[in-house]
Amino acid sequence: MVQSYVVYLGRNSHTSKPSTLGNDGMTESYYDLLGSCLKSKEKAKEAIFYSYTSHINGFAATLEDDEVDQLSNRPEVVSVFPNEVNQLHTTRSWEFLGLERNGQIPADSIWLKARFGEDVIIGNLDTGVWPESESFDDEGMGPVPTRWKGYCETNDGVKCNRKLIGARYFNKGYEAALGRPLDSSNNTARDTNGHGTHTLSTAGGRFVSGANFLGSAYGTAKGGSPNARVASYKVCWTGCYDADILAAFDAAIQDGVDILSLSLGRALEIPYFRSGIAIGSFQAVMNGILVVCSAGNSGQFLGFGTTSNVAPWVLTVAASTIDREFPSNVVLGNNKEFKGTSFNTNNLSSRKYYPIVYSVDAKVANASAQLAQICYPESLDPTKVRGKIVYCLGGMIPDVEKSLVVAQAGGVGMILADQPAETSSVPQGFFVPTSIVSAIDGLSVLSYIYSTKSPVAYISGSTEIGKVVAPLMASFSSTGPNEITPEILKPDITAPGVHILAASTKAPRRLSRLIDQRPLSFNIISGTSMSCPHVSGVAGLLKTMHPDWSPAAIKSAIMTTARTSSNARQPIAKASAAEATPFNYGSGHMRPNRAMDPGLVYDLTTTDYLNFLCSIGYNATQMSIFIEEPYDCPPKNISLLNFNYPSITVPNLSGNVTLTRTLKNVGTPGLYTVRVEKPDGILVKVEPESLKFSKLNEEKTFKVMLKAKDNWFISSYVFGGLTWSDGVHHVRSPIVVRKAVN
């Protein structure tokens, strides 16, 4: 059977500026290699649809099963893995993160210190970009940095400028997976989905005043690094395929990006040596590029161990809430009020009551009660609905489509009983004023309808700030533990990912009919896909301030300065109302202003990452996927527990264990002392208990001994923390421990 594969030959040892002749020579060598298996160089040229020649050494091709076997047995070939699919995983959020206050930027804001991320280059692997968005206006920006080597693919009217400096598309892997040629409409970097534009503008969009979604969340939209240059790499179509992702990584490294943001990943993780994201991001980090990825949105459905993008060289981001919500409440004629959600435009005339009818009682003659109950298309009788609020139940079709059915039948509003009481709905833009209430409250509304001769109601929507406890963990956010390497805590950090306003593409076709055919400039979405670019934007600010910091140092600064409490209590997981743990939020909720001066960082080099791979048992062949030159693992077994990560995780504690960490001073000289929050049932001893740093970049090593108490019988994970402080800086690492299972 013919399928598409990525054939990996190990890391390419090119310089940062490979010659065109060198690239052509490598492509020819790929043709020769595959041609020797296919017995025809011409067939090899037809089969290969990507040649990775900049920083990734290999190619992507369509192959038969026996051809895969032949290639796999060739000594030059390190790995052959299927071209599999990955899935796609604001006005208020930056104020919530402390970068501005009451519409003003305080003097201590990282925005001012970092000159709004001036001239840092942020690349985004996603669904493309809508270049006409105001978020990518280049007015007042200077020349593009000379280190930029990328370009703009101008198909479909795409134009770049001094802000949006690159826009490219990669669809050959998608085409190969489909097994048929794509039509020309797919040859574009333009975003027709909206996801890529949303994420890119959140990371690096410019200040845009008057931003709103249908009147809600009104304010000034902006990205984390408003003065950054941005580049879009379109790799997602109906999915995001490994071959396209690797091609984009290869291009982005060569183009000269500083930060790469990926709001995509797998539902279930696979070994690092088979993951396009893990391999591509390793090459990026080796070239000084920090890679930020979303953790995934499977927490509510698949539970623990669902975090995506768990490679330790990637900064993995979970989603939390901000202190803004969009209530759209129902007030009945008996003055009972029920809380719902929707958007500000979903207001009926203030304090004016309208008749309310249950959709089953307003069905057309030939419709079933079951279809009318959910407001299915063509199930409602206009003579019974016109001028009324319609009560519907959730299920089967999208909520927005139900509101369209009500609107087409002449209804003026909709009450949708849908949500379990302990969860919150995601507000949307509906065709009529709408309130989504809990299933329990819905029963109260239905009881009122049937117990009242002339039932009436009105719907009142608004945007409210500061009335909800935040940050709380989003129920959908994927959670740890890390299923690939449980000794590495994932996710790493959390950032706002709920109800985020950012640039969008055109309005959905059906919605545009009711908003005067105007393009929808901004949209509100939720997901770890929105948390990721928040961190990418802040990483851009840190890169501007500290251009000599390694990707690991930037990552550490963000992680060790995070906070783990919300109004003096731990964040609460909304899905179950249970206490959240580091498996939900990693090191905590990001604090950008603290991250710009972390005091100390846990730094890592390429050698550290290679030793990490040694410690998890990778052989020479698997190691060569990540580095071309032969790498000799240290003669002594390396303890994975000593990997210099900004968190401490021991998934199988038996008796006691001692591990080491090393801190680098990136601030002023000072004396740091340690404070420990002991996990339940665990004795923790740190030696030494103080570290004196006399100069910049000085490193100090300390040891942490963990021992289970004699009467400790807990078999689940327990959590604590370790903080080094000089009185000004607070460098915190979570501690996660589980007793060994006999």
594: which 2 tokens?
Answer: 């603290």
In 3D space, the residue among 634, 619, 607, 621 whose CA is nearest the CA of residue 10 turns out to be 621
Backbone dihedral region of 400: left (phi > 0), alpha (psi from -120 to 50 degrees) or beta? alpha
Inter-CA distances, 34 with 48, 74, 76, 247, 544, Å: 9, 10, 11, 19, 44
Chain Cα centroid distance, residue 245: 16
Tell me which of 14, 55, 195, 589 is the catalytic residue. Answer: 195
Taking the C-alpha atoms of residue 736 and residue 650, their distance in angstroms, rounded to an integer, is: 6
SS3 238: coil
Residues 6+ apart with CB under 8 A from 400: 428, 429, 430, 431, 511
389: which 2 tokens?
Answer: 């609020």
198 has catalytic annotation: no
**Residue spans of beta strands (DSSP E) within 321-369:** 324-325, 328-332, 337-338, 354-358
The answer to whether 500 touches 217, Cβ cutoff 8 Å, is no
589 has catalytic annotation: no
Taking the C-alpha atoms of residue 375 and residue 377, their distance in angstroms, rounded to an integer, is: 6
Tell me which of 119, 126, 191, 399 is the catalytic residue. Answer: 126
* Residues pairing with 493 in the sheet: 317
Helix, strand, coil percentages in the chain from 3-state DSSP, rounded to 5: 25, 30, 45
Taking the C-alpha atoms of residue 542 and residue 558, their distance in angstroms, rounded to an integer, is: 9
509: which 2 tokens?
Answer: 């076709």
Pairing between β-strand 389-393 and β-strand 48-52 as defined by DSSP bridges: unpaired
SS3 195: helix
SS3 665: strand
Taking the C-alpha atoms of residue 193 and residue 249, their distance in angstroms, rounded to an integer, is: 21
| Helical (H) or strand (E) element with 316 | strand 314-320
In 3D space, the residue among 91, 89, 532 whose CA is nearest the CA of residue 344 turns out to be 91
Tell me which of 225, 529, 615, 733 is the catalytic residue. Answer: 529
The answer to whether 234 touches 173, Cβ cutoff 8 Å, is no
SS3 30: helix
512 has catalytic annotation: no
Taking the C-alpha atoms of residue 723 and residue 92, their distance in angstroms, rounded to an integer, is: 30
Taking the C-alpha atoms of residue 478 and residue 269, their distance in angstroms, rounded to an integer, is: 12
Taking the C-alpha atoms of residue 248 and residue 6, their distance in angstroms, rounded to an integer, is: 14
In 3D space, the residue among 582, 590, 480, 491 whose CA is nearest the CA of residue 535 turns out to be 590
Name the CA radius of gyration of the chain, rounded: 27
Catalytic residue annotation: 126, 195, 529
